[in-house]
Amino acid sequence: MTLTLTVSDEVRALAPGFTHVAVEARGLVNGPSDEASSALLDEAARRLRERLGALAPHEDPHMAAWRDAYTAFGAKPSRTRNSAEALARRALADGGLPRINRLVDVYNAISVAHLIPVGGEDTDHIVGSMRLVRATGDEPFPTVAGGETAVEHPDAGEVVWCDDEGVTCRRWNWRQGVRTRLTEDSVNALFLLEGMAPYCALEEAAAELAELLEKVGPGAGITVHAPVAAGA
Q: Which tens digits make up the pLDDT trace of 84-133?
A: 999 999 999 999 999 999 999 999 999 999 999 999 999 999 999 999 99
Q: Is the CB of residue 16 less than 8 Å from the CB of residue 230?
A: yes
CA-to-CA distance for 43 and 158, rounded, in angstroms? 34
Q: Is the CB of residue 196 less than 8 Å from the CB of residue 62?
A: yes
- DSSP for residue 128: S
- The per-residue pLDDT for 1 is 61
* pLDDT at position 205 over 90: yes
- The per-residue pLDDT for 230 is 57
- Percent of the chain at pLDDT > 90 equals 88
Residue 41: partners with Cβ closer than 8 Å, 6 or more residues away: 91, 96, 97, 99, 105, 108, 109, 112
